[in-house]
Structure 1
Amino acid sequence: MSGKARVRARRMPRAERERQMLDAAVRVIGRHGYQAASMDEIAEAAGVSKPLVYLYLHSKEALFTACVEREARTLIAAISEAVGQRDPADGQLWSGLLAFFRYADERADGWRVLHVQARTHGEPFARLADTMRARVLGFVTALLTSAARAADGTRDLGEHELTGLAHALVGAAESLATRAADDPALTPTASARTLMDFAWTGLGGLVAGERWS
């Protein structure tokens, strides 16, 4: 690195420098995996020296933890900001699904860090990913509860039934997002519509030619 580059590196605000390092780490880890990713490669991708990465983020584990935490916050924020609280339950679910699939599409490396890398490399990474997933499950469960009450104000679905449906829906969304990475036809909008058709209209309705709109 040249003397001028070192001066620029010193003058960059810390928050911006850390963001630059995390961006590089997410790209490298998302594409090559946590074990295969080296601090040398991450530093090179960030355009900084390896000692500077260690100075800011201390260790590879700490760097990966920061990546998982940031991507989890980004995904939750994207879903939360997209959902209009005054919309009907199906409209909220549609907005949430669309935001989720857009995140997975636009931040494909970040999605792999969350969905694959964090879950397969033990604590504390898996716990962070599970915390993010639990928040999404809570959001979906609340929507299903709201939908059930709107359809029949006299009866709520049982807790176990709602929880099972929420897990099934979130699992389907995760699977479809992973599948979309290899299928250009599965755009975020197409993925969200596919899941809305299946989840809201139901298989019986689809066979009968019905579609969610």
Structure 2
Amino acid sequence: MGAVKSKRMPRAVREQQMLDAAVQTFGQRGYRSASMDEIADLAGVSKPLVYLYLNSKEDLFTACIRREAAALTAAVRAGVQQDLPADRQLWDGLRAFFTHTAQNPDGWAVLHLQARTHGEPFAAEFAAMREEIVAFVTQLIVVAAREAHRDPSLPEREVAGLAEALVGAAESLAAWANATPGVSARQAATTLMNFAWAGLGDLMEGRPWSEHGSAGSPG
């Protein structure tokens, strides 16, 4: 009997293998230090094949950013059920965010540490993902205002600021949690929820913080 020929791996599968290897290498070594030789070796392919599929180191890095950004935003959206109360939606979104970043530390490093710091067009790819998440969080805040039976349209600038602050806090906390042994995704989500919802809850109930109302403010 003749030897059974192995099936040729589909291009899409092979490309994902290369992206997996690239995300791991870029995430752990950084964009500047990572080499195409390392990525090819880790993927189990030749370096010319990596270039054939993904053109250049810059294009490969861009493909990694896009893939990891899409996976993160999809995870956050999938984690939120729109028919639940606003606080539960926010909690589920945070938990989905921290779970994904904890399970994919190299991907988060590519997005949070590498893409933002190596100039255009990489920073623009990260900014596009961030803008989508901020828009999603903005809608959660609007829902919270509506549930509180107040004017559902908080001042646009205030809502935008709250969403930016919340997303920024989540990004920093995810980086800290991934670098701190023993901090689970649920713990990180709980920390931010306790920090954020106490303030949001007061705001929605008509009790915003005021400089003049603070006990420590000068008379």
TM-score above 0.5: yes
Superposed counterparts of 1:73-88, under 5 Å: 73-88=70-85
Structure 2 residue 63 is the aligned partner of structure 1 residue 66: yes
Does structure 1 residue 106 correspond to structure 2 residue 118? no
Q: How does 1:15-26 map to 2 (within 5 A)?
A: 15-26=12-23
Structure 1 outlier segments of 4+, above 4 Å: none
Residue 183 of structure 1 and its aligned partner are, at CA, apart by: 1.5
Q: Which amino acid aligns with 1:45?
A: L
Could you give the per-residue CA deviations for residues 72-122 of structure 1, whole angstroms, max 9, x where no partner exists? 110011011111011111111111111110111000000000111111111
* Structure with the higher helix share, 1 or 2: 1
Name the structure 1 match of 2:54.
Answer: 57
Identity fraction in percent: 59
Counterpart contact for 2:98–2:185, Cα < 8 Å: yes
What is the aligned partner in structure 2 of residue 140 from structure 1? 137
Quote the Cα distance in structure 2 between the aligned partners of 1:25 and 1:57.
11
SS at match of 2:133: helix
- Which residue does the alignment assign to 1:170? 167
| Structure 1: runs of 5+ lacking an equivalent | 1-6, 206-213
Shift in Å at residue 155 of structure 1?
Answer: 5.5
Residues 1:203 and 1:57: Cα distance change in structure 2 (over 3 Å): closer
Counterpart residue type for residue 75 of structure 1: L
Change beyond 3 A, Cα 1:154–1:164 = closer
Query: Displacement of 1:123 after TM fit?
Result: 1.3
Aligned partner of residue 181 in structure 1, secondary structure: helix
TM-score (norm 2): 0.86
User: 2:201 and 2:84 mapped to 1: Cα distance?
Assistant: 26
Residue 85 of structure 1 aligns with an amino acid whose one-letter code is Q
Check 1:170–1:57 CA distance in 2 against 1; reply closer, same or farther (3 A cut).
same
The 5 A counterparts of 1:1-213 are 11-154=8-151, 156-202=153-199
Q: How many residues align?
A: 199
One-letter amino acid of the counterpart of residue 167, structure 2: V
TM-score (norm 1): 0.89
Secondary structure of the residue aligned to 1:156 is coil
SS of residue paired to 1:123 = coil
Q: Hey, what's the Cα distance between the residues in 2 that align with 1:79 and 1:154? A: 27
Q: CA RMSD in A?
A: 1.9
